[in-house]
Structure 1
Amino acid sequence: MTTSFRSSGDVLADRRYEYASAAFDEREFEAAADLARQVLELAPRFAPAHALLGRAAAKLGLQDEAAQALRRALELEPEDVLGVRLDLARLGALPPDEAMTDGYVRALFDEYAPKFDRHLTKSLAYCGPELIADALRRACSRQIRDCRFGLTLDLGCGTGLMGQALDGLCEALAGVDLSPRMLEKASKTKLYHELHEGELVSFLKGRADAQADLVVAADVFVYMAALDDAFREAHRVLKRGGLFAFTVQAHQGEGFVLGADARYAHSESYLRRLAEENGFATLILDRVSTREDRGVPVPGFLVVLQR
């Protein structure tokens, strides 16, 4: 994970950290590790240097040193804005379902916000919101009902791309996201009646029973391992007949896995089990791709459930 420049409080340490980062980016991992160790001699409590040392050591196959450095970074910054829990999970030193924290996701998207829309739609060919909106139209057509909704809850609304895809279909739109910078972008769309900063399950728990017609989550569950709580709360806040529409990355096995792309992927059997256990009827479960990774479509699922 890249982060904005932070100072260790020591000018020489900062300069060596910049050299270490550049060496890592050039895949000169031995030099990066050596420079990171020099940084830590000058600034032993500088968490980014511990994280960089851990990542470089892991690339060199120095598993014990990597895990020790990464754990020290996590001790110094428990909110894990550096995302070292992901590295620990890759080393097998942490369970995969504990690899992401709200602090990591918030920091990731705060930094990503200024270039988010252009990068996602242009570089990654992202089309999740459009796929969800189209699936909702198909689901409503099959049931011979108007594709119009009252209160709609947009989970992980980001900059508002999902809100734009639903423009004209919802009487009221409430969004939630961990990243304040993403929410600033969403507010500029003028499409949201409410915007909340926070974690999506907590947001749902704060809503009244049976108040929403639609809950959507476009490429949000890729940052969550278990989805049990999200399914349960989505069912609770929906009115009878209300829809729950979302996309995930696809896993061909059972349950869910943390992928090499630092995103979670969920299996079809897992999604169907959660739907059944929570009282949802499955209207649509299609194999799709919502984005590309280096020009290759990333396999996923597009799901529409009905309460």
Structure 2
Amino acid sequence: MNPRAQTSLQNSSGDLLADRRYAYAEACLSEGDAEGAAEMAEQALEIAPRYAAAWFLLGRAREARHLATADVAHHHAALRAYGNALDLDPHDELGARLRLVQIGEGAALGAISPAYIRALFDGYAPRFERHLVGELQYRGPELLVRALDGLDGARADFGDVIDLGCGTGLVGEALNGRTRTLTGIDISPGMLTEAARRRRYDRLIEGDLVPILRGEKQDSADLVIAADVFIYVGGLSPVMAETARILRPTGLVAFTVQWNPDGGLVLGADARYAHGTRYLRRLADEAGLDMLGLEPAVIRRERGSEVPARVVLLRKPGPPAP
């Protein structure tokens, strides 16, 4: 799944001629003419030097030229272009920080900004399910519910549930009729609009996961679930600490991750985070949660290939025996 590839980065410069040059640059790049794209983007920037989207597009074009020629000058030009885009777009809706990390500049953690994710999925929301489920054969919610049902003493009713990164509500659909209350959290208002149409959620909350979880009461949830969300989060310690706080004793956490066989946390070439066994076990220990399951899974396909993943189940310990 690469929603950004299907979403235009266009936002008007305020100058019609600059906007036309930008549109020509986009067309050139989509047709594989990176040099032409760079030339058109530079012409747009001569007219509108504070046009963040044109700087970002120039970075993409110079990055493509570097890949094609190995000329280090194109690499440095891409770094400068992405840096200028980030200066003009400090919330990083365009994803310049992510592109910088991918070409070797900056730290992987925090590379994917909340503003980028919001813009990405707002544009993706209307076709999200058709693409994800229909084309990529996404099965995350189904596999999570199956794993929960496979636990000893599995519950028919999951109680008070919080769905992290609920998107259009696929988890809500998978849990239909098996919750006392269901809360969905997502950063994208477009996704929440789609989720509201399902009428499965008692609450839908827009915003970043950690601040919202901090506002939830301690010992107020029986299950916290996250399907294919942590691929955009990376470092999970703050999320898991708040999750452990709001869980009732014996409460469960169920989530999927893209798999990193090297054991740690990495940002892959596909612009998604992957988590390995070593990282996940340390995460559970730090949060005071017991690891119940870490099972191999395929939750979607990408370019015709299965994307390796894991279904992770954690439990908050119960009260000590008297």
TM-score, normalisation: structure 2: 0.92
Q: Aligned residue pairs: how many? A: 304
Instruction: Give, in angstroms, the shift of residue 4 of structure 1.
Output: 5.4
Distance in 2 (CA, whole Å) between partners of 1:71 and 1:277 is 35
Q: 1:152 aligns with which of 161, 167, 183?
A: 161
Q: 1:53 aligns with which of 58, 75, 96?
A: 58
* Structure 2: tracts of 5 or more residues without a match: 67-73, 317-322
Instruction: Give, in angstroms, the shift of residue 244 of structure 1.
Output: 0.2
Partner of 2:113: 101
Alignment partner of 1:20 is 2:25: yes
Distance in 2 (CA, whole Å) between partners of 1:21 and 1:214 is 45
Distance in 1 (CA, whole Å) between partners of 2:108 and 2:287 is 24
Instruction: Give, in angstroms, the shift of residue 103 of structure 1.
Output: 0.2
Partner of 1:292: 301
Distance in 2 (CA, whole Å) between partners of 1:283 and 1:79 is 38
Alignment partner of 1:36 is 2:41: yes
* Structure 1: tracts of 5 or more residues without a match: none
Query: Is 2:9–2:53's contact at 8 Å kept on the other side of the alignment?
Result: no
Partner of 2:123: 111
Runs of at least 4 residues off by over 3 Å:
none
Instruction: Give, in angstroms, the shift of residue 285 of structure 1.
Output: 0.9
- Secondary structure of residue in 2 paired with 1:18: helix
Instruction: Give, in angstroms, the shift of residue 146 of structure 1.
Output: 2.6
Partner of 1:276: 285
2:250 aligned partner, one-letter code: G
Distance in 1 (CA, whole Å) between partners of 2:280 and 2:232 is 15
In percent, how many aligned pairs have the same letter?
A: 48
Q: 1:181 aligns with which of 190, 206, 231?
A: 190
Where in structure 2 are the equivalents of 1:1-307 lying within 5 Å?
A: 1=4, 2-3=7-8, 5-61=10-66, 62-139=74-151, 142=152, 144-307=153-316
Q: Over aligned residue pairs, what C-alpha RMSD do you find? A: 1.0
Describe the shift of the 1:127–1:145 C-alpha distance in structure 2 as closer, same or farther (beyond 3 A): closer
Query: Is 2:263–2:279's contact at 8 Å kept on the other side of the alignment?
Result: yes
Distance in 2 (CA, whole Å) between partners of 1:97 and 1:274 is 15
Query: Is 1:248–1:265's contact at 8 Å kept on the other side of the alignment?
Result: yes
Query: Is 1:3–1:82's contact at 8 Å kept on the other side of the alignment?
Result: no
Partner of 2:69: none
Query: Is 2:9–2:94's contact at 8 Å kept on the other side of the alignment?
Result: no
1:104 aligned partner, one-letter code: Y
Instruction: Give, in angstroms, the shift of residue 30 of structure 1.
Output: 0.7
TM-score, normalisation: structure 1: 0.97
Instruction: Give, in angstroms, the shift of residue 6 of structure 1.
Output: 2.0
Query: Is 1:4–1:111's contact at 8 Å kept on the other side of the alignment?
Result: no
